[in-house]
Structure 1
Amino acid sequence: MTQLTIAMGKGRTADRAMKLFEQVGIRFSDYHDKSRKLVIYDDDNKVKLIFVKAVDVPTYVENGAADIGIVGKDTIMEDPVDVYELMDLGIGKCIVAVAGFPEKEFTNGAPLTVASKYPTIAKDYFNGQGIRVETIKLNGSIELAPLIGLADVIVDIVETGTTLKENGLVVLEKIADVSARVIVNKASYATKTSQIQQFIGDLKAALE
């Protein structure tokens, strides 16, 4: 039987995914959060796990470097790729939201300036509302943008809302619910159908 290759980023989502893997009998004895290994194998040598930047997971899966990927829905929305999205793992739950000062209102007048590491999601959302936007791509400290006048609002991941609150910002509109999803390479699904279906079925059973 050929190996399944799974791609995912390190961090809390990976830690939770590892616990799920253990529940379905897939154990990675070499895994620990301090390890710098980029490739590890399960104890039965049936699954190869590769660690990549979370934003790159869909690219690895689409191009066949991995059969399966575990990645946040926000990443899939921001940079859509040609893969199957087969399962919501329900881990890493948060929302993608528009945030800003409490009194901020959206109008169809002057373009809205939006700071975000998700410019595609931001544009798609506001275009759907009929609101013109100019986006500024930022990769960190997004909450700073409205505070210094760089942007009118931000589009970002919100989990607890603590950082927003501490900076005088609030969620103005929710765009989407986000959690970790299982994506699959289309060619792999055709050639490793039974293995992938078994893997998905085991995960679903573990979550029930």
Structure 2
Amino acid sequence: MSLSVALTKGRLEKKTVAMLERMGYGTENLKDKGRALVFEDTKKDIRYFLVKSNDVITYVNHGVADIGVVGKDTLMERGNQNYELLDLEFGKCKFCVASLPDQDVFQKVGHVKIGTKYPQVAREYFLSRGIDVEVIKIDGSVELAPILGLADGIVDIVETGTTLKENGLVILEEVCEISARVIVNKASFKLKRNEIMAVVRDLESVVKEDAHKNGFEG
């Protein structure tokens, strides 16, 4: 029974394709793709297609993709109606609350204004802390919001923290860690359980191999 797999374009795509190649899957078409968006595996009965992160969830939700690879940040912001079966342990970064050094949003009296690309994540986090929050959706560089006075602080994805430092911002708190995840359509999981679990087990073996190797190197 054939499988369809939705991959997030960009860095997650490249990392996932590298894992599939190590698993012995036929990824030649994915590696030399030109402008194509849909690819057949040359060794397995699998079709891959490349979409933006939000669309991975949409395609899996509607059963067009049986399996999807997407960042936990997107899952947290969008909500997930599917099964999340595996943490791929790459694409690692963190959701953080940051502000200018003299603007600690957790010490502010009254409601706090937070700029972010992830309004759902920011709102839930501050409400869980019992803080009255006004969330301002920003699509571009969120670091500008506290600098220009639009917001008291920001919630954003932080990998190295370099961009924050260069703009004079400091991390106040880490909300949670995020990484690439494997999600599966619930109906597909009933109909194609064996085929899906074969792929998941293959991916898991690469994750464990890397963890083992990094443990020795560490």
Q: TM-score interval w.r.t. the shorter chain?
A: over 0.9
Q: Give 2:80's aligned amino acid.
A: V
5+ long unaligned stretches in structure 1? none
Greater helix percent: which structure? 2
Aligned to 2:124: 124
Of stretches 28-37 and 41-50 in structure 1, the one that deviates more from structure 2 is 28-37
Aligned to 1:62: 61
Aligned to 1:142: 142
Aligned 1:59-208 pairs, distance under 5 A: 59-105=58-104, 106-107=106-107, 109-208=109-208
Q: Give 1:9's aligned amino acid.
A: T
Q: CA deviation at 1:206?
A: 1.5
Q: Does the 8 Å CA contact 1:86/1:184 hold for their aligned counterparts? A: yes
Aligned to 2:46: 47
Of stretches 168-177 and 25-34 in structure 1, the one that deviates more from structure 2 is 25-34
Distance 2:115 2:89 in 1: 27
State the secondary structure of the residue aligned to 1:124. helix
Matched, 1:27 2:26: yes
Distance 1:32 1:104 in 2: 47
Distance 1:21 1:138 in 2: 35
Distance 1:45 1:206 in 2: 18
Q: Does the 8 Å CA contact 1:107/1:131 hold for their aligned counterparts? A: no
TM-score after normalising by structure 2: 0.91
Q: Does the 8 Å CA contact 1:111/1:134 hold for their aligned counterparts? A: yes
Aligned to 2:211: none
State the secondary structure of the residue aligned to 2:150. coil
Q: Does the 8 Å CA contact 2:26/2:44 hold for their aligned counterparts? A: no
Distance 1:36 1:149 in 2: 42
Distance 1:103 1:97 in 2: 17
Q: CA deviation at 1:26?
A: 1.2
State the secondary structure of the residue aligned to 1:30. helix
Q: CA deviation at 1:33?
A: 7.2
Of stretches 84-93 and 20-29 in structure 1, the one that deviates more from structure 2 is 20-29
Distance 1:76 1:101 in 2: 28
Q: Give 1:200's aligned amino acid.
A: V
Q: Does the 8 Å CA contact 1:108/1:131 hold for their aligned counterparts? A: no
Q: Does the 8 Å CA contact 1:59/1:81 hold for their aligned counterparts? A: no
Q: Does the 8 Å CA contact 1:108/1:132 hold for their aligned counterparts? A: no
5+ long unaligned stretches in structure 2? 209-218
Aligned to 2:14: 15
Distance 1:29 1:14 in 2: 14
Q: Does the 8 Å CA contact 1:119/1:137 hold for their aligned counterparts? A: yes
